[in-house]
Amino acid sequence: MSHNAESTAFRSALEVIRAVEPRVADAISAELADQRESLKLIASENYASPATLLAMGNWFSDKYAEGTVGRRFYAGCQNVDTVEALAAEHARELFGAAHAYVQPHSGIDANLVAFWAILADRVESPALKKAQKRHVNDLTEADWFALRRELGDQRMLGMSLDAGGHLTHGFRPNISGKMFDQRSYGTDPATGLIDYDKVAEAAREFRPLILVAGYSAYPRKVNFRIMREIADSVGATFMVDMAHFAGLVAGKVFTGDFDPVPHAHIVTTTTHKSLRGPRGGMVLCGPELADQVDRGCPMVLGGPLPHVMAAKAVALAEARRPDFADYASRIVDNAQALADGLLRRGASLVTGGTDNHLVLIDVSGYGLTGRQAEQALLDSGIVTNRNAVPQDPNGAWYTSGIRIGTPALTTRGLGAAEMDATAELIHTVLDRTTAGTGPDGAASKAKYVLDPAVAESVGKQAADLLTPFPLYPEVTLG
């Protein structure tokens, strides 16, 4: 496809949108401009290909398609069947999975599908079998009461939030925390690493129905073979949420003990992040859970999003190309180069480095909270997000950490030299930012002081760093 084809497609789309609501067209154009000009270091974000983006804007958006391939509750879904089957086929081949369910709208939806599938497989409950035929929003209070009575006190063991776990792994603010009695395993206070003996000890004591592995802010590999052995030792179902590192699994950077698919009973993921697809979710499993997983709609999901499944099929096809493995390898190389650059400049990193796509900076050494550091960096053209560190004294809102990742900048083509330059810019901002005070003169966890000249200088350097690596060079809107 020529460069003109992509430009023509996006220009034409914006013209059509502008004729109806010009403010939306302007916002879309502004978003592209903002992303082109910013050092995007959010570990959970990336840049989908033009083909993937275009696959979402079409007539599939107009279709209802409850059910599964060949078994729909609506007529006229033959083309939806084609794209869903293609997406599932690419997923199975890419990850070596027996079964793939590509309908989940997001990572939390994928996790909920997995949780309910495990419950249905493991727990004898007439109320659950009845509920599986309906959507959760349609369950009455009596239905929920019957479910809670029959399911009892089901237990989940997952990684703690401050150690890098995720909200959807059984924590109270999330529905998973209302479904399960949850307990967490953390990391070694001295190293920040998972202590597998401690995980095994917690599993023996707690006897969970589900042992969850996976993370959103743990900068190291996980040994899934050991985790499966722990799950088997207590009769637990082993579930892995690989949303953050799915691209590293797809690109064969994580293999053997560090590839979750051969070891887990069920694996969930998003399709964006390091996988570089559209925003969405997916579940992989063996044949023993396939039927339960395929009941995700209507139990958890509403109607599938066929236009997003089409984009998933495109992105998964891209991930099966040989160049994706090179891309995945460069993600890790860049993360390690970025970590090394920060360490040389005196930054404190959780676990002292990284094995994957993300780096977690403890900014307390700079006298800052994560919230202060996040905003100061944003003022300087560097997009990150604040994140808790193990045993974080500032909690989950203000935090003491900044999480950064390399999937997006690697997509743009930046390499080790640019990662070192990025480390210098990050260090400069954090080193020159000081904590502010509130109206009463007390120390603030949110307010900060950064010389605007420093922010402007760093922003210009960040823009200069990106100039040789244009974002979507095949797309010109002007």
Higher-pLDDT residue of 32, 73 = 32
Residue 1 — very low, low, confident or very high, per pLDDT cuts 50/70/90? very low
Label residue 170 by pLDDT band (50, 70, 90). low
Question: Which residue of the set 36, 45, 64, 420 is catalytic?
Answer: 64
Number of Cβ within 10 Å of residue 189's Cβ equals 9
Given a contact cutoff of 8 angstroms between Cβ atoms, the answer to whether 458 and 429 are in contact is: yes
pLDDT of residue 84: 97
**Residue 234 neighbours by CB under 8 Å, 6+ apart:** 203, 204, 207, 208, 211
Angle, vertex CA 104, rays to CA 101 and CA 109, nearest 5: 125
Please give the pLDDT value at position 43.
95
Q: Dump pLDDT digits (tens) for 58-94.
A: 999 999 999 999 999 899 999 999 999 999 999 999 9
Bigger pLDDT: 281 vs 146: 281
Query: With 90 as the cut, is the pLDDT of residue 245 above it?
Result: yes
Share of the chain above pLDDT 90, in %: 81
**Mean pLDDT, to the nearest integer, of 109-137?**
79
Q: Report whether 168 contacts 221 (CB < 8 A).
A: no
Question: What region, left, alpha or beta, does residue 434 occupy, with left being phi > 0 and alpha being psi -120 to 50 degrees?
Answer: beta
Superfamily for the 322-466 domain: Aspartate Aminotransferase, domain 1 (3.90.1150.10)
Q: Tell me, what DSSP letter sits at residue 236?
A: P
- Residues 185-213 have a mean pLDDT of 95
Cα angle 111-310-169, degrees, rounded to a multiple of 5: 10
Catalytically annotated residue among 37, 66, 150, 181: 66
Name residues whose C-beta falls within 8 Å of residue 462's C-beta, 6 or more positions apart in sequence: 38, 39, 380, 381, 382, 422, 425
Highest mean pLDDT among 114-123, 126-135, 413-422: 413-422
Q: Does the active-site annotation cover 273?
A: yes
Mean pLDDT of 268-273: 96
**Residue ranges per structural domain of the chain:** 59-154+225-319, 322-466
Q: Would you say 462 and 425 are in contact if contact means Cβ atoms under 8 Å apart?
A: yes
Tokens 């089409």 found at: 310
As given in the structure block, the two tokens for residue 265 are 């009973």
What pLDDT score does 176 carry? 75
- 302/165 Cα distance (integer angstroms): 27
pLDDT surpassing 60 at residue 303: yes
Instruction: Flag the least confident range among 167-171, 340-344, 378-382, 423-427.
Output: 167-171
Q: Which of 270, 369, 411, 422 is catalytic?
A: 270
Q: Which of 273, 276, 312, 403 is catalytic?
A: 273
pLDDT, average across residues 41-55: 96
Q: What are the Cα distances from residue 229, in Å, to 121, 156, 170, 240, 367?
A: 20, 16, 21, 14, 42
Of the candidates 44, 10, 63, 12, the residue with the CA atom closest to the CA atom of residue 310: 63
Q: Does 421 have pLDDT greater than 60? A: yes
Mean pLDDT of 312-324: 97
Residues 174-197: tens digit of each pLDDT: 777 777 888 999 999 999 999 999
Q: Are 382 and 429 in contact (CB under 8 A)?
A: yes
Does the global pTM surpass 0.85?
Answer: yes
Lowest model confidence (mean pLDDT) among 64-78, 235-249, 332-346? 64-78
Give the per-residue pLDDT at 132: 67
69 CB-near residues (< 8 Å, 6+ apart) = 81, 84, 85, 88
Find the range with the poorest average confidence among 2-16, 236-250, 315-329. 2-16
Mean pLDDT computed over every residue of the chain: 92
Query: What are the b/e assignments for 98-129, b being 16+ CB within 10 Å?
Result: ebbbbbbbbbbbbbbbbbbbbbbbbeebebbe
Tell whether the model's pLDDT for residue 157 goes beyond 80: yes
CA distances from 279 to 103, 146, 176, 307 (A): 12, 35, 21, 11
**Closest by Cα among 43, 419, 438, 111 to 283:** 111
Average pLDDT over residues 125-142: 70
> In degrees, to the nearest 5, what angle opens at C-alpha 114 toward C-alphas 108 and 119?
125
Q: Could you give the CA distance from residue 355 to residue 459 in angstroms, rounded to a whole number?
A: 29
For residue 2, the model assigns a pLDDT of 47
CATH tag, 59-154+225-319:
3.40.640.10
Concatenating the DSSP letter of every residue in 80-110 gives: HHHHHHHHHHHHHHHHT-SEEE---SSHHHH
Give catalytic status of residue 327 as yes or no: no
- Residue 241 known to be catalytic: yes
Token pair of 107, please? 């990572």
Catalytic residue among 162, 241, 294, 340: 241
Q: Which residue did the predictor score with more confidence, 126 or 48?
A: 48
Annotated catalytic, 279? yes
Q: Is it the case that residue 369 has pLDDT exceeding 70? A: yes
Is there a contact between 95 and 111 (Cβ–Cβ < 8 Å)?
Answer: no
Active-site hit among 155, 220, 279, 445 = 279
If pLDDT is split at 50, 70 and 90, which confidence band does 318 have?
A: very high
Helix (H) or strand (E) holding 285: strand 281-285
Specify the DSSP element, H or E, that contains 395.
helix 395-398
**pLDDT score of 346 more than 70:** yes
Whether 120 shows a pLDDT value over 90: the answer reads no
